[in-house]
Amino acid sequence: MASFSIERIDCEGVSDSDRFFHEARYRFSFPYVQGRRVLDVACGVGYGTRLLADGGARFVTGVDLSDDALRQATATFSAFNASFLRADALNLPFRPGSFDAVVSFETIEHLADGAQFLREVARCLRPGGVLLLSSPNKAALPPGCKSSPFHLREFDLDELKALLGEAFVSVELFWQPWPDRAVQNQRAAWWAYRIRQVPGGALYRLLPKKWRGTIAAMIGRRLQTGAASLSSYAPRPIATRPTDRDACVHLAVCFKGK
């Protein structure tokens, strides 16, 4: 359903829209990590860890299970306030209260025990600490479908909120649109409408049914003049979401009790 299927950003050969889609979450996190000790769980190749470090965090530790990803992260994104190590998200090797903030984007859907992951995160946070977490919106997909074969469980809004509420005293929810999908769909719909306006809809009826949507979408993409931007993918409050299918990803800001 979605053209976006990247499981890990490798910083090469990635479109602007896909890169901005990921980067916007990290930049959204900047106010929550200022001057703080931060843990980035499932950091991948580390570009987001470095963003957090450059965005004002006191120190960021990125952890991942992939040795290949960690080698690239260490070689490319290490800094005086950013380092990387191998760790299991379900058994984090840190003492209780080691971090002021935890960031973990597109992780929980890959884990066999999301509740255990959240307990581990809460354990590693100091009292009053914050978790920033994102996960694909199951309700935006056809019934029974997943956005990736690598996902063990995907959540709709209520399921994610309920699970987070078991480990955190306060949960604020946001959403992100599909990369480029909203603009393309709007333009495709507009052109489909214009084609139908030919007197009597003759031209539209002449097109094979299986081609109608595809042709309209192709025209919409070719006429898409607005370049992708970070602001177009910035997380937005749940109250502003038009429909469930508009939300590709849900992002949660979760606070641990004092």
Residue 198 has pLDDT above 60, yes or no: no
Alpha-carbon distance 169 to 162, whole Å?
A: 11
CATH annotation of 16-179+232-255: 3.40.50.150
Q: What confidence score (pLDDT) does residue 1 get?
A: 26
| Burial class of residue 6, CB neighbours in 10 A (0-12, 13-18, 19+) | middle
Q: Report how far residue 169's alpha carbon sits from residue 71's, in angstroms, rounded to the nearest whole number.
A: 36
pLDDT digits (tens, 9 = 90+) for 139-185: 887 676 667 788 999 999 999 999 999 999 999 999 998 876 444 44
pLDDT at 251: 97
| Domain extents in the chain | 16-179+232-255, 181-222
Model confidence pLDDT, tens digit, residues 21-73: 889 999 999 999 999 999 999 999 999 999 999 999 999 999 999 999 999 99
Answer with the residue of higher pLDDT: 170 or 196.
170
